Amino acid sequence: MLKRNTSKRSFDDTSTLKMPHLSNRDVKGMPEYRFEVIPFNLTNHGASRNYYFYTVKKRFQKGANRLATNLYHVMRTIKGKDDADCNEAEKQQKFARRVVLMCDNYAENKNNYIFAYGADLVFRLWFDEVEILFGEVGHTHNGNDAVHWVHNDIVGNYESVTLMDYIHFWIPLGM
């Protein structure tokens, strides 16, 4: 159980999503070239919220800069939210003085940029303590795989011509 003054996040990429997406299996006769995006999931465990960020493949690099940018925007949303608009869990996170970031052992998570990002969170006075956890070597799973399963397999069963069509199927699932 996390202490009351702690905020906890985990994050992970999943396989490339190709649009149009007609099924979880390639359709015969379908052109091979499709619009490709890389889905990145960030889970805010304290508020039970999942965020997906989609990066255009081969247009923007994966790496620590993309990771720190996505983390920053979620943190800023939490820390900058008006008190009147916060539920109890969000209020606790807004005023938390410690954050735990749960990463896998992928190289983009283990470098000076991520450690500098942690230092920046302290410098901005958002947190007094930043803890960065890495999973066991050879095991990249950090709990986000269940969310990826819903993203890739459940929602992936629907036909989606555009990315917005794909995201539309998340609404009934509460994601």
Residue 2: per-residue pLDDT: 45
| Tokens 């995201």 belong to residue | 167
Higher pLDDT, 164 or 123: 123
Residue 6: per-residue pLDDT: 65
Higher pLDDT, 163 or 23: 163
- How far is it, in rounded angstroms, from Cα 145 to Cα 174? 17
Per-residue model confidence as pLDDT tens digits over 124-143: 999 999 998 876 665 555 56
Residue 122: per-residue pLDDT: 95
Q: Write down the pTM of the prediction.
A: 0.72
**Token representation of residue 56:** 């255009």
Distance of CA 80 to the CA centre of its chain: 19
- How far is it, in rounded angstroms, from Cα 35 to Cα 93? 37
Q: What is the DSSP letter of 45?
A: T
- How far is it, in rounded angstroms, from Cα 140 to Cα 90? 28
Higher pLDDT, 124 or 41: 124
Residue 1: per-residue pLDDT: 42
pLDDT band at 123 (very low <50, low <70, confident <90, very high): very high
Mean pLDDT for 12-41 is 74
Per-residue model confidence as pLDDT tens digits over 1-22: 445 566 667 777 777 777 777 7
Q: Are 152 and 169 in contact (CB under 8 A)?
A: no
Residue 65: per-residue pLDDT: 81
Residue 124: per-residue pLDDT: 92
**Positive or negative CA dihedral for 28, 30, 31, 36?**
negative
Distance of CA 35 to the CA centre of its chain: 21
Strand partners of residue 41: 12, 52
- How far is it, in rounded angstroms, from Cα 99 to Cα 130? 5
Q: Which CATH class is domain 6-173?
A: alpha beta
Per-residue model confidence as pLDDT tens digits over 51-109: 888 888 888 777 778 888 888 988 898 889 898 888 888 888 889 999 988 877 666 66
